Amino acid sequence: MTTVHTHDALMNDAQQADDASPLRGTRELFDLPDDVIYLDGNSLGALPRAVPPVVDDVLHRQWGERLIRSWNEADWWGAQTRVGDRVGRLVGAAPGQVVVTDSTSVNLFKAVIGAGRLRPGRTVVLTDPDSFPTDLYMTESAAALAGLQVRRVHPREAVAAIRELGDDLALASYSSVDYRTGELWDLRAITAVAHEVGALACWDLCHSAGVVEVDLDEGGADLAIGCGYKYLNGGPGAPAFLYVAARHQDDFDQPLTGWQGHAHPFAMRPDYEPAPGITRARVGTPPLLSVLALEAALTAYDGLSPADVRAASLSVTGAFMGALDSLGVDLPLATPREPERRGSQVSLRHPEAFAVVQALIARGVIGDFREPDIIRLGFAPLYVTHVDAVRAAVHVKEVLDRREFERPKFAQRGAVT
Amino acid sequence: MTTVHTHDALMNDAQQADDASPLRGTRELFDLPDDVIYLDGNSLGALPRAVPPVVDDVLHRQWGERLIRSWNEADWWGAQTRVGDRVGRLVGAAPGQVVVTDSTSVNLFKAVIGAGRLRPGRTVVLTDPDSFPTDLYMTESAAALAGLQVRRVHPREAVAAIRELGDDLALASYSSVDYRTGELWDLRAITAVAHEVGALACWDLCHSAGVVEVDLDEGGADLAIGCGYKYLNGGPGAPAFLYVAARHQDDFDQPLTGWQGHAHPFAMRPDYEPAPGITRARVGTPPLLSVLALEAALTAYDGLSPADVRAASLSVTGAFMGALDSLGVDLPLATPREPERRGSQVSLRHPEAFAVVQALIARGVIGDFREPDIIRLGFAPLYVTHVDAVRAAVHVKEVLDRREFERPKFAQRGAVT
């Protein structure tokens, strides 16, 4: 049983860690309900306080008052690359290589077909069988259209598979962090071997952008995609991003040749001529309310280094796991304990994981369930503190000790993303 | 020269027409600056007053307070088809056939490849050489991937071309209204002949949805695409829509196989199984701020029949052309005069069209320029009145009479969409 002593000691340590954190005070940049410990920022990031005033300005002044003139005056035209550069700073990309556009799925489609065209004659795309499913679906569809074949090889076996495939390989496409288990893969190693055989690498940063130190440029990534609505806090369905390394941009021939990717979009020419640089990865007119909300959201990262964010993330998730240990919660961890092997989430396995998650939500601890048996808890270090982590661990213990997950109301399933 | 008598008579008639209009009072549903006559709703619709309160609720309550729970509670999950049905009511589509998703460009890509797969063995896609360029670019790119060839045939020659192509034709893909000239094409006739030879028809409704009476179901359209930010007033870059006729949905095999188009998105299965119905045309997580802004915007159409909107549109554009005539403005019209041959815009030709547009904007009459010589004026009948139309005609006359377009400051070009 938990003792008062254990509780007090854990809370003391947590408070000290919060006070000493380089992210001290960033929680105040978010508008979170007081009665919630929000551990689902890996599905939908919390509302940054900077967003509503910007959206208000976009609605009333930029759209309502200035109307079409805002394309120039407010530089709507440049928003996708401007916000892209902001994302780039968080993922180790120098300016001019990231564009905010479309959804992650659509960007992966561009990346796979674009990669095939950068490596003509090669026939294989390698990807993780445990990828977030949309990655598998889009990769298969894009590959089929491009005359490529997809092989599903676990990241642990990727290096060997790449060596074996040699110059058959066009692209190795892997997620940086497993969306279910939170395991962090060494994409630099996979990329280095892909380059040895002359192939390309695409990194999916959905569960790492904004929490893990990602070095796209230094790590040699050729392409990368990622999501705007998880740790980047851009709001529900915020646009995604696409990175194309500068060295590939002149030859990046992506299939979604919309007018906003054209070199001379207002010349209204009958044939497509891709714009120079990353702009060619744009497609149609972007949903500006959502693009500009994401731009405002990213100001929460102003003044923070990716290294500090990563350190805080590991410290908070470490505090959560440590508290579970101290409290005697012995659920199996799906997430590796080693700092270098995990992202910013802690996933626990339980045969009644769905009901456990519902019982936690009823207590104000919001996480999510993933098939088949995963309690998935994401720790966004900008607004989840060490104290939150310890409180969450206590809630987990109480839900399990009191068998709250056996209450019938927690067993009913609905759509949760 | 204009006489006071002409002015007064025109204004009197305009006022009477406004008083008698079935759209009387709808202008109050929009937040437009007092000093502007806004004739660019065919590029970016005006701000409906219903939008800001909804966006505010989405930001603060749905996102900020309820967080991830809004996927169920606020039915974010169903937003794309719910708003799709709302669009459907404006374009003659019974429920369950329209989804709001992605951009027009991306939706056309799905439509072209999907059409090719619905008509295997056929090799040709027919489209208008004067299409909005993104239609040409996307059609070419999609066709190349699908092993189809694009032939560019003017709508006037489309029926003959279809008969000649016979069972080589997979898809006839045409815009309902020419974005430059405002000419309205008879897509029902093109569709009927396409069906005679066993092919499909895709209608681009970017410049007709919300102003022209479109009968997708009755007209036999197989596929259609359109834009949310023009006459539908969804805001800058609002998501687009895609229509797939119910009879094709079971076999509609579109290439952007994202998880939100899956039959069991939360089962996280490794292989793609398209959802029943129009849901399979969804791709990734949609930009919900923009989707829900569009939903609110569409309430401006509540209680209005497409026939009434069309009648008002023709009446207002007719008043504008009539006023130009009465005022003795003799610029060539790019738009046909016959009501059955025009959409909701009036395009005038002038060798210095760019500068004329800038001079008009300086007077508060906002229209836009299109290469090479087009002054494009869109009349959104929900917020452009007969009185506005007459006033705009007077401004055109004054800009020409006073040769304001010769002022150097109006000749500088910038990006305007």
Model confidence pLDDT, tens digit, residues A384-397? 999 999 999 999 99
CATH topology of domain A4-49+305-411: Aspartate Aminotransferase, domain 1 (3.90.1150)
SS3 state at A106: helix
The response to whether A135 counts as a known ligand-binding position is: yes
Q: CB A284 to CB B370 under 8 A?
A: no
What are phi and psi for residue B78, nearest 5 degrees? -95, 5
| B132 a catalytic residue | yes
Interface test with A, best of B34, B63, B371 (most A CBs within 10 A): B63
Task: Give the CATH class of B4-49+304-411.
Answer: alpha beta
Q: For chain B, where do the domains classified as CATH 3.90.1150.10 start and end? A: 4-49+304-411
The angle at the Cα of A229, spanning A224 to A234, to the nearest 5 degrees, equals: 110
Percentage of chain B with pLDDT > 90?
Answer: 95
B96 DSSP β-pair partners: none
The amino acid that residue B230 corresponds to is K
B378 DSSP β-pair partners: B345
Percentage of chain B with pLDDT > 70?
Answer: 98
B175-203 mean pLDDT: 98
Q: CB A106 to CB B291 under 8 A?
A: no
What are phi and psi for residue A21, nearest 5 degrees? -75, 140
Confidence of residue B283 (pLDDT cuts 50, 70, 90): very high
| Dist. CA A67–CA B236, nearest whole Å | 9
Q: For chain A, where do the domains classified as CATH 3.90.1150.10 start and end? A: 4-49+305-411
Would you list the DSSP string of B274-286?
Answer: BPSGGGGG--S--
Q: Which of A111-115, A238-242, A332-336, B4-8 has the lowest mean pLDDT?
A: B4-8
A183-192 mean pLDDT: 98
Question: Which has the higher per-residue pLDDT, A416 or B121?
Answer: B121
Task: Give the containing element (helix H, strand E) for A171.
Answer: strand A169-175
Residue A65's Cβ-count burial label (10 Å; 0-12, 13-18, 19+) is middle
The amino acid that residue A150 corresponds to is V
If you measure CA to CA, which chain B residue comes closest to A38? B67
The response to whether A259 counts as a known ligand-binding position is: yes
A377 DSSP β-pair partners: A346
Residues 6+ apart with CB under 8 A from A114: A223, A244, A252, A253, A254, A255
| Dist. CA A66–CA A37, nearest whole Å | 40
Interface test with B, best of A259, A260, A271 (most B CBs within 10 A): A259
The amino acid that residue A196 corresponds to is E
ipTM of the prediction: 0.96
Q: What tokens were used for A328?
A: 């005697």
Catalytically annotated residue among B119, B230, B342, B397: B230
| A229 a catalytic residue | yes
A337-341 mean pLDDT: 97
Q: For chain B, where do the domains classified as CATH 3.40.640.10 start and end? A: 75-301
For the domain covering A75-301, report its CATH number.
3.40.640.10
Predicted pLDDT of residue B2:
53
| Dist. CA A155–CA A324, nearest whole Å | 29
Confidence of residue A414 (pLDDT cuts 50, 70, 90): low
| Dist. CA A266–CA A278, nearest whole Å | 18
Has residue B415 got a pLDDT over 90? Answer: no
State chain A's mean pLDDT as an integer.
Answer: 96
- Residue A331 Cα, gap to closest chain B Cα (Å): 23
| Dist. CA B70–CA B61, nearest whole Å | 9
pLDDT tens sequence across B110-150: 999 999 999 999 999 999 999 999 999 999 999 999 999 99
Catalytically annotated residue among A122, A280, A310, A376: A376
| A230 a catalytic residue | yes
What is residue A185's DSSP assignment?
P
| Dist. CA A43–CA A162, nearest whole Å | 31
B189-214 mean pLDDT: 98
Predicted pLDDT of residue B268:
87
Q: Residue B80 in contact with residue B282, Cβ under 8 Å?
A: yes
pLDDT tens sequence across A68-85: 999 999 999 999 999 999
- Residue A360 Cα, gap to closest chain B Cα (Å): 13
A362–chain B Cβ distance below 8 A for any pair: no
pLDDT tens sequence across A41-76: 999 999 999 999 999 999 999 999 999 999 999 999
- Cis peptide bond prior to B239, omega within 30° of 0: no
Percentage of chain A with pLDDT > 90?
Answer: 95
Has residue B350 got a pLDDT over 60? Answer: yes
Tell which A residues from 16 to 45 touch B, by Cβ distance under 8 Å: 31-33, 36, 38, 40, 43-44
Predicted pLDDT of residue B5:
75
Residue B146's Cβ-count burial label (10 Å; 0-12, 13-18, 19+) is buried
Catalytically annotated residue among A204, A222, A368, A373: A204
| Dist. CA B306–CA B303, nearest whole Å | 10
